[in-house]
Amino acid sequence: MATGAATGNQTAAQALLVEMLDPAVRADPYPVFTRIRELGPMVLPETGMVVFSGFADCDEVLRHPSSCSDGMKSSVVQRQIAEGITPQRTATPGFLFLDPPDHTRLRTLAQQAFSPKAVRALEPEIRALVGELLDAVAARGTGEQTPGAPFDVVSDLAYPLPVAVICRLLGVPLSDEPQFSRAAALLAQGLDPIMTLTGQASANADERLRADEWMRDYLGHLVAKRRAEPREDMISALIAAEEDGDQLTVDEIIATCDLLLIAGHETTVNLIANAVLAMMRAPAQWAALAGDPDRANVIIEETLRYDPPVQLVMRIAGDEMVIGDLCIAKGDSILLLIAAANRDPDAFDRPDVFDPDREGLRHLSFSKGPHFCLGAPLARLEARIALTELARRFPHARLAAEPVYKPNVTLRGLASLRLG
């Protein structure tokens, strides 16, 4: 177990982490993050876990060569296996949860489709999609045409856009989307560290397991279809790689598509909606973007810092690690509160202010090191086009209702954001 100058007392630390999970703080978890950060790194011997919430510490852990992502390496899981308890993992995981060499092999195969060059080629299509979605809003007589008539940024733009793009890239028929959107939402909730922090399974654990089985079954059928009739899509490209030699297995194709489909469903939507909300609360920023589309890049980066779509990530110490004054034992779990780190006053002036023009703008929101978000160029492009077009067409938009949040802790985001 970790040793060293862990600050804060155990009970206070544990209570704050449980408070962080409470749906009541979802609309504004930042005061809880501040209190957690003020306690310093936390060591929780009962769960074999260390929690970091400062920028420098999180940054160092993400880049550390002993940081692992394969949960099977945790001492808790290893102890369960030794006691004959079957670990939770039942199916092949996506490469987000793997370490080299498997991680490197699978990421390399997926990476081509997400390179900056491949993503730039999607720009005309993304523009057309955004145009269609916003035309539909206008046709309903909302926004500028009928000021005061509300539309929902989430359901009218921020959700359908990334979903259409990832389905297109993978080769998943968009017409099937209503079937798997529920599964994707349930699986996204599975990333919340409920079990790790409370020792209790979350309420819908069984439902999630069934959603996972359903999704893999659905993707398995699609793989069989594309094998018979290949197309110009990523599933067909992965099948070609599989048939080419021993580069990956069918289970790994399914796990990779599963990961990309969920990542494509549950993250960019939050970036777009969080950016719009931040600007609605700082209307000068909205007006500035409407007048100058070039501001989109700094607005996107500041949103990623100020209100990140992925609020935390986990690591396992693959070996003994020293971070600051803490010595972390091999097999300990490490929880990195990125949303807290991005507002660390030791790293940022006025950290709680949304200021796209701040000096030294940076963040950990796409992670660092070998697991740096594969979809970052795509997410940035989709957000840039969606935000600039929305501000250009609806320069006078204002919040029409209090935003509503999904219960998710890790992939925190809005369920509804109504503008008028």
Residues binding ligand HEM (CB under 6 A): 69, 95-96, 107, 162, 166, 259-260, 263-264, 267-268, 271, 309-310, 313, 365-367, 371, 373-375, 378-379
Shortest Cβ 321–ligand HEM spacing (Å): 16
Cβ at position 338, least distance to ligand HEM in Å: 7
Which residue number, 211 or 260, has a Cβ lying nearer to ligand HEM?
Answer: 260
Q: Which residue's CB is nearer to ligand HEM, number 6 or number 165? A: 165
CA 114 to chain centre: 16
* Residue 280 or 383 having the CB closest to ligand HEM: 383
Report in angstroms how near the CB of residue 260 gets to ligand HEM at its nearest: 5
Q: What tokens does 308 get?
A: 């990140």
Among 90, 29, 1, 12, residue whose Cα is nearest residue 312? 29
- Taking alpha carbons only, the member of 184, 161, 191, 358 closest to residue 268 is 161
Whichever of 69 and 408 has its CB closer to ligand HEM, that residue is: 69
Q: Which is nearer to ligand HEM, 50 or 166 (CB)?
A: 166
- Which residue lies nearest ligand HEM, judged by its C-beta? 375
Residue 365's nearest CA partner among 303, 299, 296, 310 is 310
Residues 395, 286 contacting (CB under 8 angstroms) = yes
What are the residues facing 405 on neighbouring strands? 414
CB of residue 366 to ligand HEM, shortest distance in Å: 5
Lookup: tokens for 162: 């990334």
The residue length of the chain stands at 420
Which C-beta is closer to ligand HEM: that of 109 or that of 378? 378
Residue 418 phi/psi, 5-degree rounding, is: -95, 130
C-alpha to C-alpha distance for 185 and 180, rounded to whole angstroms: 9
Contacts of 403 (CB under 8 A, 6+ apart): 27, 277, 414, 416, 417, 418
State the minimum distance, in angstroms, from the CB of residue 403 to ligand HEM. 18
Q: Which is nearer to ligand HEM, 8 or 93 (CB)?
A: 93
Within 10 angstroms of residue 398's Cβ, the number of other Cβ atoms is 13
- How far apart are CB 370 and ligand HEM at their closest, in Å? 6
- Find the shortest distance in angstroms from Cβ 313 to ligand HEM: 4
Q: Which amino acid is at 75?
A: S
